[in-house]
Chain A
Amino acid sequence: MKELDLLKKDWQKNTDSFEQVSEIEIYKMIHKNSSSIVKWILIISILEVLLWTGFSMIFSADDYLKKINNEGLSFTLKFFTYLNYAVIVIFIYLFYKNYIRISAIAATKQLMKDILKTRKMVQYYVWYNLGMIVFGLIMGFIIALYYNPETIILRNKVEHDPKIMAITIGILAIVTIVLFGLFWLFYRLLYGILLRRLHANYKELKKIDL
């Protein structure tokens, strides 16, 4: 292509035309903070992990169980609590491992893959927590209705009045749907904007390599 060769000649001829950055300026730059996408993902991810770990601790049912005093139930819930902590630790470990794997020296495609993988790992973590909270809500609801001596009046009402039963189930369903909807929106907005360019470029590279 003739025009491209012409451009190449011009390109290589004009290397001295840039305004040169001095050593002092470079010194200043390396002490500044990066604003790379990886850093943003890291910050947001840490916030997510903290938020969800916090939530799962708040949702702990210890006091509640004491009141109900049912051994089988206590055991089941304790089991789930410890399982939950184990899962959190595993996730944080995986997330950290993925994060340190990200390197600007890697081939472009690999770099993108690693970033997307890290992102996905945190996303799994969030979905896991969201699932656990929905599960917890349903469990809590069942326990409240069937085991808690304080709700005996409500239990009787629900059992005998299909209308009240429908309303209580409806409320739970709405809470669940709203929770999911908010999350879906949040992720669309936050990561849609953050990762749009990366996704597009990754797709392009994958297309080339088919």
Chain B
Amino acid sequence: MSENLEHSFVTQLKENQNIIHKICRLYTDCEDSHKDLFQEVTIQLWKAFPKFRGDSKFSTWAYRVALNTAITLYRKNKRSISTVEYEGRQHFIKDVDYNYEEEEQIKLMYKAVYQLNDIEKALVFMYLEDKDYREIAETLGISEVNARVKMNRIKGKLKKILNP
């Protein structure tokens, strides 16, 4: 029974691991921390797995646990400055027929997003993942209207960071 549970968990996590990687990318600034957070999210997911009933998708459920871990539960081991760029990030921005100007803009946007605080990052993350405001609000535990207002403010903040 517990072996089945373990197997089912590991298989589903392996398929959905990019969700966690994306959150790690946003909340950590070096590869070690990325791995560290990935591990903590995995442990938290596993701990919560017996309560996962499959009435929602594994991925939807994983979003919530992973974000909660990154924002609330995870303790950074090392003190690090969150604006430091690490090389691992560069390879996200390569494309075969790339447009130099566009690439520059995307790079700047990534940099701007890293300057946001933990909660703002969570909103941006779900926005980038195409989640609707209902789900964003539900995940964070705030009202839908306030999530919308906050997202608009974040857009303003990002604009300001891009054009100081």
Contact = CB atoms under 8 A, between A and B. Distances in A.
A18 B17 contact: yes
Contact of B109 (A7, A18, A104, A105): A7
A167 B28 CA distance: 57
Nearest to A205: B119
Contacts of A197: 76, 118
A209 interface: yes
A106 B141 CA distance: 8
A109 B141 contact: yes
B30 interface: no
Contact of A20 (B17, B128, B129, B150): B17
A14 B77 CA distance: 28
B112 to A, nearest CB: 8
A104 B139 contact: no
B10 A38 contact: no
A208 B119 contact: yes
Contact of B91 (A8, A17, A204): A17
A66 to B, nearest CB: 50
Interface string A76-115: 0000000000000000000000000001111111111001
B128 A111 contact: no
A7 B44 contact: no
A40 B64 CA distance: 22
Contacts of B67: 108
A198 to B, nearest CB: 6
Interface in A1-45: 1, 3-4, 6-8, 10-18, 20-23, 26-27, 29-30, 32-38, 40
Nearest to B67: A108
B contact residues, range: 35 or more
B141 A34 contact: no
Contacts of A69: none
A104 B47 contact: yes
Interface string B93-117: 1010000001001101110010001
B12 to A, nearest CB: 10
A10 B42 CA distance: 26
Contacts of A104: 44-45, 47-48, 64-65, 68-69, 73
Contacts of A3: 105, 108-109, 158-159, 162
A201 interface: yes
A6 B17 CA distance: 24
A36 B75 contact: yes
Nearest to B117: A204
9 contacts: A1-B159, A3-B105, A7-B128, A26-B13, A35-B77, A36-B44, A37-B74, A108-B67, A208-B150
Interface of A: 1, 3-4, 6-8, 10-18, 20-23, 26-27, 29-30, 32-38, 40, 103-112, 115, 194, 197-198, 200-201, 204-205, 208-209
The 10 closest A-B pairs by CB, nearest first: A107-B141, A109-B141, A18-B21, A36-B73, A30-B46, A7-B109, A11-B128, A29-B42, A204-B119, A34-B43
